[in-house]
Amino acid sequence: MNAPLDWTGRAATLALDFAARAPVHDADGSFPFRNFADLADAGFLALAAPRAYGGQQASIATLGGVVGAVGQGDPATALVLTMQYIQHRSMLRGHRVWPEAIARQLVREAVDGVSLVNALRVEPELGSPARGGLPATTARRTADGWRLSGHKVYSTGAPILRWYSVWARTDETPPRVGNFLVRADQAGIRIVDTWDHLGLRASGSHDVLFEDVALPDDAAVDLRDPSAWAGGDPELQADMSVLMGALYTGVARAARDWVVGFLQERRPASLGAALATLPRAQERVGAIEEKLHSNRRLIASLARDIDDGLRVPLIDSSLVKTTTTENAVQAVELALSLSSNHGLSRHHPLERHWRDVQCGRIHTPQVDSVHTAAGRQALGL
């Protein structure tokens, strides 16, 4: 029997090249197209897709290892890859509502070349859909299918996406809400280059405008009464918590590696020895290790539960997401505290790691909503 492929090890090898290119993409906000060509050549773009459709159907533990390794090299690339994996895994849960022909096409294209998909959900007025409210993006019924119009923001991976899963309402009375699968090259779609962010500057999270885009009837995925979407999706959130936790832990590992090298090499004349010999430095590096160790354990435990088929409560996985991302932020801040002006210099990668890791706090769910939900549960409210 052939030994299983070491996907995490292969991703770590690719990530060395991603890390070498990351400073340029960060500096000018350019999109890392070459990274995705490399990922496609190595078979990573269909790693999460259902085996029945031609994908690898890898475990969430394997996917987390890959995303963490890529995130250590270039977290913007890892974020776009995460969204690909989330959408492909949703096919496993939604086989009754994903149009099979389109799902097979998405996977086949990801196997054959550079083809990515992401959900476009956030809007200028709506904000995050997790906070409630109906999308303004509207799908209008026609004799041949649908016509889609709307404005999406923070559309991660926009320069490279071949498919969008667009969160929209119907023009029915009362309206239904769900996703519409849209090819990115259709007439009436326009990308507006708006992404100019503190962190993850290479993620290409631009605005996308839809102006009366014609869609077939089967483009609609899982249309429901708006109230049926309340409460969130525990399986989706569990997957996201593993992958987001792994991504930002990867950033923290990169920061740890840099500061360890700095402490070993930096020998101030006043000390006459490497900074690594100072007890204060050793204690703070130990504190970084504590954050990384806790994250590894939490992510591995959640991934194991998911892969074992357990239904993880929404609050449980949400707490894992907020804990691991906060640990990652704190680990990078500890690294900065040990490096003084060197860590904040653009000549070194630590300031970029600090900027990138801040983005972990923005992804749904945010700390305030998770703590409120956990507090209400503990108080029996």
The stretch 84-112 carries a mean pLDDT of 87
Domain count, the chain: 3
Domain that holds residue 65: 7-115
Give the model's confidence band at 98: pLDDT under 50 very low, under 70 low, under 90 confident, else very high: confident
DSSP 155-207: ETTTTT-SEEEEEEEESSSS--EEEEEEETTSTTEEEE-----SS-TTS--EE
The stretch 122-135 carries a mean pLDDT of 77
Q: Is residue 203 part of a domain?
A: yes
Model confidence pLDDT, tens digit, residues 61-90? 999 999 999 999 999 999 999 999 999 999
Q: CATH number, domain at 165?
A: 2.40.110.10
Q: What is the DSSP letter of 185?
A: T
pLDDT score at 128: 61
The stretch 243-253 carries a mean pLDDT of 98
pLDDT score at 133: 77
- β-pairing, 220-224 vs 177-183, is antiparallel
Q: Is residue 2 part of a domain?
A: no
**Would the pLDDT of 323 be above 70?**
yes
Domain boundary among 173, 204, 228: 228
Whether the CB-CB separation of 252 and 357 falls below 8 Å is answered with yes
- Quick count: other Cβ atoms within 10 Å of Cβ 265? 10
Residues 269 and 363 grouped into a single domain: yes
Whether the CB-CB separation of 58 and 7 falls below 8 Å is answered with yes
Residue 270 has phi, psi (to 5 degrees) of: -70, -25
- Quick count: other Cβ atoms within 10 Å of Cβ 139? 31
**Would the pLDDT of 185 be above 90?**
yes
Share of the chain above pLDDT 90, in %: 90
Give the model's confidence band at 129: pLDDT under 50 very low, under 70 low, under 90 confident, else very high: low
Give the model's confidence band at 250: pLDDT under 50 very low, under 70 low, under 90 confident, else very high: very high
Q: CATH number, domain at 63?
A: 1.10.540.10
**Would the pLDDT of 94 be above 60?**
no
Give the model's confidence band at 2: pLDDT under 50 very low, under 70 low, under 90 confident, else very high: low
Model confidence pLDDT, tens digit, residues 203-234? 999 999 999 999 999 999 889 999 888 878 99
Alpha-carbon distance 193 to 187, whole Å? 18
At 307, list the tokens.
């892969």
Domain boundary among 196, 228, 260: 228
pLDDT score at 298: 98
Residue type at 147? Answer: R
Alpha-carbon distance 250 to 359, whole Å? 13
At 193, list the tokens.
């280059």
Residues 252 and 364 grouped into a single domain: yes
Residues 108 and 147 grouped into a single domain: no
2 or 149, higher pLDDT: 149
Whether the CB-CB separation of 153 and 118 falls below 8 Å is answered with no
Residues 211 and 263 grouped into a single domain: no
Residues 224 and 244 grouped into a single domain: no
The stretch 334-346 carries a mean pLDDT of 95
Q: Is residue 1 part of a domain?
A: no
Q: CATH number, domain at 362?
A: 1.20.140.10
- Quick count: other Cβ atoms within 10 Å of Cβ 341? 7
The model carries a pTM of 0.95
| Average pLDDT for the chain | 95
Q: Is residue 210 part of a domain?
A: yes
The stretch 294-301 carries a mean pLDDT of 98
- Quick count: other Cβ atoms within 10 Å of Cβ 285? 18
Q: What is the DSSP letter of 195?
A: -
Q: What is the DSSP letter of 230?
A: T
**Which residues, 6+ apart, have CB-to-CB distance to 67 below 8 Å?**
78, 81, 82, 85, 243, 246, 247, 250
Domain boundary among 67, 89, 115: 115
pLDDT score at 99: 83
pLDDT score at 132: 63
> Alpha carbon 317 to chain centroid distance?
15
